[in-house]
Structure formats: C-alpha cells, structure tokens
Amino acid sequence: MLNISIVLYHPKWEQEIYPLLEELLRVKRLRKIYLIDNSEEKTNDERLTAKGVKVRYMFMGANLGYGKAHNVALRESAYEQTELHLAMNSDIRVKAEDIDAMHDWMLANPLVGQLMPKVVNPDGTQQYLAKRLPTPMDVFGRRFLPKCLNERRNKRYELRDLNLEKPVNAPYLSGCFMLLRTKAAVDAGLFDERFFMYPEDIDLTRRIHREWLTLYYPEWTIVHDHAQESYKNRHMLRVHMENLCRYFNKWGWWCDAERRQFNKITR
C-alpha cells in the first residue's frame, strides 16, 4: 500500500490541488493522501471532507518548511507500516496507473529505497533532476557565474554525461517526486528538519543511498510545472542560499569524502 503527502503553502485549489486529487484518488494502491497545509489560514472547503477518509487535511498553523511538514505524514506511514510513501509537489501531473505501476515495481525490487521517474516540462523538454552530489562550485557557480564558464561542470552535475534513457543509481533525486520505501526513509532518519527548504532532498537521498539504490527510472514520465521561485524572488533566493550553507556546514564544503566516492561511482 501507498501513502502520499503534499505540502501546501497558499495553494492553488482550483488550478492544481483539486485536479491532482481527482487523479490521485484513482490510484488503486492508495491508502491515504495527506495534505499538509503550511499556510497562515485554514481552508474550510467542504469539498475536502467530501473526498472521504482517504484524504486527510492537516493545518499546521505555521510554515514548517518542506521536509518537516512531509515528516508529519512519513511518521504516520511508519506507524501504520505502510510500505511506500510518495512525497510530492502539488505542481506535478502524473497518471494514477503510473503510480500503481511504480508501486508494484518498487515492491518487486526490494533493494530500491527511492525512485524518481523521468521529469519533463509542460512542453515536453526534460528536467535534469537526478544529479551527482553538489560541490559548492556546482550550486553557487551555476547560479552566479556566466553559463559559458560553468557549462561543462553543470553537464556533469546534472548527469547529462550519461545515457538518461536508462536507469541511473543517483545520489541526489529531486524532492518534487520522491517515491520512498518507508523503511529506507525511517532508517535514514527522515528529512533533516534543520533545512527549511531546498537541500533537504539532497540530504535525504544521500543518506538513503548509503544502504539502498536511489534510482532515476525513465520507464515512467511525469510533468512538473517548475516555478523556480528562488530565481524570481529575492527572499526565496536568500532562503535558498542560507539553507545550502547549512547543507555544506553539515557535510563539508571542500572535504567531503562520501560525496567524492558517490560521485565517482555514478556512471
């Protein structure tokens, strides 16, 4: 069985949430959908209640951040002993039958702790969201240096030097769609709640990667309406940079032996 969690903040109910819920409720392996609302005001829309017991709306009363909010639902999955847990964004478009297929494939492959399908933009172009573990130059250079000076490094970081039509055991998979084996996530310690937003997916994937396969698996494709808020909003840019600094303070800026090992064998 499968639980799904979606973290909300000022959600677009009509454009995103309700259409997504309609599709997710078609998932045959579904146990429950958790809507974790970090907004300032609670919604009282009766349509949520009408969705039945498979949709649980949880108003947090404060912005907990991405990872901490998902942990609320992940702990429920651990308590219920639900085999798989999908932590996903609300700006994802995915077919119910594909989630069922991913669920069954994961259960049939017990060495896999995490899976992410191929992710594309609405126009069909690929988003390179499976990556090697970043160095400070990877993340700060691609943000602040001219593209021509960082193109070769960025290509390697985004695994574009590999054949992405085949599965890759990557140490960093995007937080937009994290199909997790609940045991793998729990054993790794769940999301590190010190990260408010952005590097929590890098941090969790690399910890799961120590003991499990963390696979980019292009058998299935999802659509991601990627907002890239930190490229448009100075406040979100500051949040992004602060949390990346916390990440490198945790794992090491230039001396990170595990990063070097994982990146070397990702090929």
Query: pLDDT digit string (tens) for 83-110?
Result: 999 999 999 999 999 999 999 999 999 9
Q: Could you give the CA distance from residue 95 to residue 90 in angstroms, rounded to a whole number?
A: 14
Q: Could you give the CA distance from residue 113 to residue 184 in angstroms, rounded to a whole number?
A: 5
The average pLDDT across 62-73 equals 96
Domain ranges, ordered by start, for the chain:
2-265
- Which residue did the predictor score with more confidence, 13 or 229? 13
Residue 164 scores a pLDDT above 80 = yes
Q: What are phi and psi of 196, to 5 degrees?
A: -70, -40
Tokens for 88, please give them.
């996903």
DSSP string, 150-193: HHHHHHHHTTTTS-TTS-EE-SEE-TTEEEEEHHHHHHHTSS-T
Residue 226 scores a pLDDT above 80 = no
Helix H segments across the chain? 18-24, 46-50, 66-80, 96-108, 136-144, 147-157, 182-188, 200-209, 234-251, 257-265
Residue 230 scores a pLDDT above 60 = no
Q: What is the pLDDT of residue 18?
A: 94
Residue 146 scores a pLDDT above 80 = no
The average pLDDT across 140-154 equals 80
Q: What is the pTM of this model?
A: 0.94
Per-residue pLDDT band at 210 (split at 50, 70, 90) = very high
CATH number belonging to domain 2-265: 3.90.550.60
Of the candidates 197, 213, 194, the one whose C-alpha atom is nearest the C-alpha of residue 251 is: 194
Q: What is the pLDDT of residue 143?
A: 74
